[in-house]
Structure 1
Amino acid sequence: MYDADDDQSHVSAPQALTSSSKEKLRQFVARIETLETEKTELAEQLKEVYGEAKSLGFDTKALRAVIRLRKQDANDRAEAEMMLDLYLEAVGEI
């Protein structure tokens, strides 16, 4: 009986890396690891800021919405708001 898992002819052996390629790979790995660490630290800082805002009585859900909306292009935001109003009106919400 033929078992495709036993047939290794379709799998090519990995190519050996040159010393230059190995060094480049090490550099990429180091940069990625550094960025991942920074990303984790930034996420923790954001969490702290939102926590501080919440402790002062601010609604963090609304705060996140403000941040999200400020990232949008003004025209795109206006168009999205018009569509939302149209849909809400169509279903009798406004």
Structure 2
Amino acid sequence: MDEPESVGIRELRQHASRYVAMAKAGKRIPVTDRGKLVAYLVPAEEPGSVLDRLEAAGRLRRGRGRLMDHMPPPPAPAGSRPLSEVLQEMRDEERW
């Protein structure tokens, strides 16, 4: 179930169980009346951790997948230095 941007009162009334299930799962659902925000449907219990609360409020979207699945950067072409060394040298030159 994806979190809706907002739900109108009529849609909420017709599909209340769907939106209650979303709130129970920790989602915060904005409710509108004729396009104007009037309320939020929120979980009855506050999520435990800070990250859970931010996610429930819609201010955090957790990453998916594993960082280790990404390949390391390709090696520098023969006869050239890695960009990380060039960048470090440029930064060192800018220091006072």
TM-score by length of 1: 0.32
TM-score by length of 2: 0.31
Structure with greater Cα Rg: 1
Q: Which has the higher contact order (CA 8 A, sep 6+)?
A: 2
Between structures 1 and 2, the one with greater helix share: 1
Between structures 1 and 2, the one with greater strand share: 2
